[in-house]
Amino acid sequence: MSADIDFDHHSDEANADPVAYYARFRESCPVGRTTAHGGFTYTTRYADVARIARDDATFSSARSDHGGQGVGIVIPKGPGLDQYPIELDPPRSTEYRQLINPLLTPEAIERLVPMIERHAARVVDDFVELGSCDFVRDLTNPLPAAVTLDWLGFPEEDWAKLAGPIHDIFAAPAESERAVRGAAGLAYMDRRIRELIAERRLAPQADAVSALVAGRRGDGGEFGEDELVSVIGLLIAGGVDTTTSLTGSTLVHLARHPDQRQKLIDSPDLLDSATEEFLRAFAPSQSMARTVTQDAEVGGCPMHRGDRVLIPWVAANHDPAVFPDPEQVRLDRDASRHLSFGIGSHRCAGAHLARAMFRAMMTQVLTRLPDYRVIEEGLVAYPTRGNQSGWDAVPAVFTPGPRAGAAAGSVRALTTPTPLRVTAVRAAAQDVVAVDLALPDGGDLPAWRPGAHIELRLPSGRLVPRSPSPRHTRIATARGAGWRWTRRTPPAVHCASRCGRSSA
């Protein structure tokens, strides 16, 4: 293959429209060599990207001197702390994945959902009465930071200090004052991680850092401090800004496509499948890189030991051979094969946490800010979308609404649709199911009064009860921080009521 193909995933043309840029090369030269950034091989097809990502023996993620010094999983390389396990190859990476994985299973993330929803409601409360916000500054950055750092065990006063530098690195032009400030912030993050590790060794708590500190290797040995710093640093970086990017891009898209936004408002359960489509269309991590360890050939292009190879998830996600009409966002598309979380041994361990944070933020926006309008002229994109895509500013206006939170011991009336959490579901009698409801932030709901009733919008989008009928019995009684809602219901609705998240 020619070594002088004019390809650069950080170029102005690529930044303007990465999907179209990769499509052009996919049609003309799907695998090729470029001299940009010291020279590397690029790929554009789903099959080639997946093959390279799965072949750790031939295409290494580990740091090396090939292509310069620094983080080895991006092109060009840049400064940054070692990131275990993503910058290691099996079998060295395996013990770190075994340390992390139990903390991020679907069951583990389900236990975090109340905390995630509490933070989401609190963050939106801070601006919902104003009628305007910057979604990045006010929602998509602080929420993932609060959830990730709260889960890990960092105190609240650390959240902004640790999250800010991560966002600065992604959102600032290389070598700019802001980028330098972000890099300097990594030194503070390193120090705080070490301090927290030391604290948790002495006094473990119910948080992720305590679990990591208590983890053991296969032979029973402890993980060293430097190893834990690397693992925790990667969890912070992965948890904080990637979900910020995905949510910001989705909010901009839905502002430009109000028909799709309305579909999600009318049918909240559609968000589950739509989440995968948004991930496919708006992959936060646009590309990664590998280093060739032995001679190989991909797509007819020979590669030699030491060559650098670009594997763009964004190109794979828009390959028409896998996703027909890939430029279209279809809420009901089966996009489960997308590569936004990677594939192979380095597939993102935090995928379930990212989905949970995304859904919590989108639910808050769709239920509490349904008429939001993005101020297009105020949008600020990342300076390059070659490695990471996202928005640095997404200003918006909307109809002001009430705060969802309530001070401890206070009670507020619910006069607008309000997100509630199902805390218990029980069979009260034959064809009768009792459901306990509570505010996400734990505040008290108002006591029942004669004539009062509630309507629940189920995850299917169905509103029950719509009108009084002999088959509907409504009972609302004060139960601490929640309500009990009892409905005589046929089995189909009984099952829907168990789905867990409703609005009253």
How many whole angstroms from its chain centre is CA 330?
Answer: 19
Which parts of 328-439 fold into alpha helices (H)? 351-368
pLDDT single digits (tens) 320-346: 999 999 999 999 999 999 999 999 999
User: For residue 447, what pLDDT is reported?
Assistant: 61
Using an 8 Å Cβ cutoff, are 278 and 359 in contact? no
Report how far residue 465's alpha carbon sits from residue 453's, in angstroms, rounded to the nearest whole number. Answer: 9
| Mean pLDDT score, 155-162 | 88
pLDDT single digits (tens) 350-359: 999 999 999 9
pLDDT single digits (tens) 28-78: 999 999 999 999 999 999 999 999 999 999 999 999 988 888 888 999 987
Asked whether residue 16 carries a pLDDT value surpassing 70, the answer given is yes
- Return the structure tokens found at 412: 């507020």
Position with higher pLDDT, 158 vs 201: 201
Report how far residue 362's alpha carbon sits from residue 419's, in angstroms, rounded to the nearest whole number. Answer: 12
- Return the structure tokens found at 59: 């295409």
Highest mean pLDDT among 148-152, 417-421, 433-437: 148-152
How confident is residue 108, by pLDDT bands cut at 50, 70 and 90?
Answer: very high
Report how far residue 153's alpha carbon sits from residue 144's, in angstroms, rounded to the nearest whole number. Answer: 14
172-186, 231-245, 365-379, 484-498: least confident range: 484-498
Vertex 193 angle, CA 148 and 172, to 5°: 65
Q: What is the dihedral of CA 63, 65, 67, 72, to 10 degrees?
A: 10
Which long-range contacts does 204-213 make (Cβ < 8 Å, 24+ apart)? 205/153, 207/151, 207/152, 207/153, 208/103, 208/151, 208/152, 208/153, 208/235, 209/152, 209/153, 209/154, 210/153, 211/102, 211/103, 212/99, 212/100, 212/103
| Mean pLDDT score, 117-145 | 95
Using an 8 Å Cβ cutoff, are 36 and 8 in contact? yes
Which parts of 267-350 fold into alpha helices (H)? 270-281, 313-317
Tell me what percent of the chain is helix, strand and coil, each rounded to the nearest 5.
40, 15, 40
| Mean pLDDT score, 149-172 | 84
pLDDT single digits (tens) 385-402: 999 999 999 999 999 999
pLDDT single digits (tens) 238-253: 888 889 999 999 999 9
Backbone angles phi, psi at 110, to 5 degrees: -60, -35
| Mean pLDDT score, 477-490 | 40
Q: Which of 254, 316, 239, 247 is nearest to 42 (CA)?
A: 316
User: For residue 415, what pLDDT is reported?
Assistant: 43
User: For residue 355, what pLDDT is reported?
Assistant: 97
Asked whether residue 182 carries a pLDDT value surpassing 80, the answer given is no
How confident is residue 380, by pLDDT bands cut at 50, 70 and 90?
Answer: very high
Which parts of 177-224 fold into alpha helices (H)? 177-202, 208-214
Using an 8 Å Cβ cutoff, are 456 and 503 in contact? yes
Highest mean pLDDT among 63-67, 77-81, 309-313, 406-410: 309-313
| Mean pLDDT score, 209-220 | 96
| Mean pLDDT score, 477-500 | 35
Position with higher pLDDT, 183 vs 418: 183
Interhelix angle for 142-152 vs 156-171, to 10°?
Answer: 130
Asked whether residue 462 carries a pLDDT value surpassing 50, the answer given is no
User: For residue 501, what pLDDT is reported?
Assistant: 33
Asked whether residue 278 carries a pLDDT value surpassing 80, the answer given is yes
Report how far residue 467's alpha carbon sits from residue 183's, in angstroms, rounded to the nearest whole number. Answer: 59
Asked whether residue 80 carries a pLDDT value surpassing 90, the answer given is no
427: left (phi over 0), alpha (psi -120 to 50) or beta: beta
- Return the structure tokens found at 420: 């509630």
Sheet holding 40-43, edge to edge: 31-34, 40-43, 308-312, 287-292, 59-60
Report how far residue 123's alpha carbon sits from residue 138's, in angstroms, rounded to the nearest whole number. Answer: 7
User: For residue 455, what pLDDT is reported?
Assistant: 57
| Mean pLDDT score, 103-132 | 96
| Pairing verdict, β 40-43 and 308-312 | parallel
Q: Which of 316, 260, 261 is nearest to 285 (CA)?
A: 316
Q: Which residues does residue 486 pair with via DSSP β-bridges, in sequence order?
A: 434
Report how far residue 11's alpha carbon sits from residue 309's, in angstroms, rounded to the nearest whole number. Answer: 17
User: For residue 202, what pLDDT is reported?
Assistant: 97
How confident is residue 177, by pLDDT bands cut at 50, 70 and 90?
Answer: confident
CA-CA distances (angstroms) from residue 415 to 386, 404, 445? 46, 11, 12
| Average pLDDT over all residues of the chain | 85
35-49, 90-104, 135-149, 439-453: least confident range: 439-453
Position with higher pLDDT, 408 vs 348: 348
287-291, 353-357, 370-374, 410-414: least confident range: 410-414
| Mean pLDDT score, 443-454 | 60
Report how far residue 351's alpha carbon sits from residue 279's, in angstroms, rounded to the nearest whole number. Answer: 11
Asked whether residue 502 carries a pLDDT value surpassing 60, the answer given is no
CA-CA distances (angstroms) from residue 206 to 103, 209, 211? 12, 9, 8
User: For residue 140, what pLDDT is reported?
Assistant: 95
Q: Which of 172, 161, 219, 167 is nearest to 195 (CA)?
A: 161
Burial (Cβ within 10 Å: 0-12, 13-18, ≥19) of residue 151: buried
